[in-house]
Chains A and B, each alone.
Chain A
Amino acid sequence: MGNVPLRNECRTLGSLKTDGGFIRMPANSQATALFRYSIVAGLLAALWGCGGSSGGAAEPANIALSGSIGIETGTRVDTDDAGTLVLSSSPFPGVQLLPQEFILAGYVSAVSGRYTGADGLPGNAFPEDPADTYSMTLRGGQGISLQPFSASRNPPPLTLSLFSGDRLVARDSTGSQAAPVRISLPDTEPTGTYTLKIEASGTEPMLYILSTSVTGSALAAGFQWPDHDFAESEAIVMFRQQAGQASVRSSALQMDVEPEMQLAPGVWLVKAPPQAARSSAVQTKASTLEWIRTLSKRPEVVSATPNYTMRTMAATPVDEPLYNNLTVGQQWHYELVNAPIAWQLANGGGAGVTVAVMDTGLYGEPGNWHSELDENVVDGRDFVSQAFDNDGDPGPDNNPADPGNAVGTSVYHGTHVAGTVAAAVNGVGGAGIAYGASLRPVRVLGEGGTGSSADLLAALNWVSGRSDGVAPHADIVNLSLGGLPFQQELLEAIDYGIRQGILYVAAAGNSASTSASYPAAYEKVFSVSAVDGAGVLASYSNYGDWIDLAAPGGDASRDGNADGRSDLVSSTSASLINGTLKETYIGLQGTSMAAPHVAGVFALMKSLNPGLDHDGFYRLLSGGDLTRQDCDRDPCLKTRELGWGLIDAGKSVLAASAGVVPNLLTSSPAIVSLSSEGPSSATVKLSVYGRSTDEVSIESVSVDVPWLRLDSVPALNDPGTEFTITLTLIPGELDAGVSERAPIVVDYRSDESRRLEIPVIGQRVTDLQARDAGRHFVLLVDPEPVGDLYTTIAQTSAVAENGRYPFTFVPDDGVEPKMLNEVPPGNYILVAGSDLDNDGLICHAGEACAEYPVAGLRQEITISPGKPVTGIEMTTSYARPEISAATPGILPRPGFRGYRLMPEPAGHGSGPAPKLMGAER
Chain B
Amino acid sequence: MASLLASLALLAGCASSGIVANESSAPLARQVTQSSHCGLTGPGLAYVQTEDRLQQLLHLPAQNMAVQQLRAVDLEQEHLLFVTLGERPTGGYSVGLVSAAAEEAGKTLSLSMAVRTPAPGTMVTQALTSPCVVVAFPARDWSEIRVSGVGEGDLRIRP
Q: Which residues of A contact B (CB under 8 A)?
A: 241-242, 244-246, 265-266, 359-360, 387, 405-411, 413, 416, 444-445, 447-453, 455-456, 480-485, 507-512, 540, 556-557, 565-566, 568, 573, 575-579, 586-593, 595, 845, 880, 882-883, 885, 888-892, 894-895
Contact = CB atoms under 8 A, between A and B. Distances in A.
B91 A588 contact: no
Nearest to A591: B126
Interface in B96-136: 96, 116, 118, 121-128, 131, 133
Contacts of A360: 125
Interface in B1-40: 1, 4-5, 8, 11-12, 15, 33-37, 39-40
B58 A448 contact: no
B15 A407 contact: yes
A515 to B, nearest CB: 12
A755 B91 CA distance: 46
Contact of A576 (B45, B66, B89, B158): B66
A413 B8 CA distance: 20
B128 A482 contact: no
A450 B122 contact: yes
Given A409-B65, A888-B60, 19 more contacts: A406-B15, A407-B11, A408-B131, A409-B34, A411-B36, A448-B92, A480-B126, A483-B90, A484-B123, A586-B64, A591-B126, A592-B126, A595-B126, A880-B56, A882-B57, A883-B55, A883-B56, A890-B41, A892-B56
Contacts of B59: 241, 265-266, 883, 885
B68 A578 contact: yes
B153 interface: no
A888 B56 CA distance: 11
Contacts of B47: 894-895
A593 B57 contact: no
Given A408-B36, A448-B116, A882-B56, A482 B123 contact: yes
Given A448-B94, A575-B64, A890-B42, A592 B127 contact: yes
A888 B62 contact: yes
B41 A589 contact: no
A892 B52 CA distance: 12
B124 A481 contact: yes
Contact of B61 (A451, A511, A556): A556
B71 A409 contact: no
Contacts of A568: 61-62
A413 B62 contact: no
B156 to A, nearest CB: 12
A558 to B, nearest CB: 11
Given A408-B34, A588-B128, A447 B8 contact: yes
Interface residues of A, dominant DSSP: loop
B126 A244 contact: no
Contacts of A883: 55-56, 59
A576 B69 CA distance: 10
Given A407-B15, A891-B46, A450 B121 contact: no
A244 B62 contact: no
A483 B40 CA distance: 23
A589 B121 contact: no
A244 B58 contact: yes
Contacts of B92: 448-450
A387 B131 CA distance: 22
B67 interface: yes
Contacts of B96: 407-408
Residue from B84, B96, B122 with most neighbouring chain A CB atoms (10 Å): B122
Contact of B126 (A265, A405, A587, A590): A590
A587 B90 contact: no
A181 B85 CA distance: 36
A540 B47 CA distance: 28
B62 A589 contact: yes
A245 B118 CA distance: 32
B57 to A, nearest CB: 6
A587 B35 contact: no
Contacts of A556: 39, 41, 61-62, 128
Contacts of A575: 64
A895 B91 CA distance: 31
B123 A451 contact: yes
A358 to B, nearest CB: 10
A34 B62 CA distance: 43
Nearest to A445: B125
A510 B36 contact: no
B157 interface: yes
A408 B90 contact: no
A480 B127 contact: yes
B128 A510 contact: yes
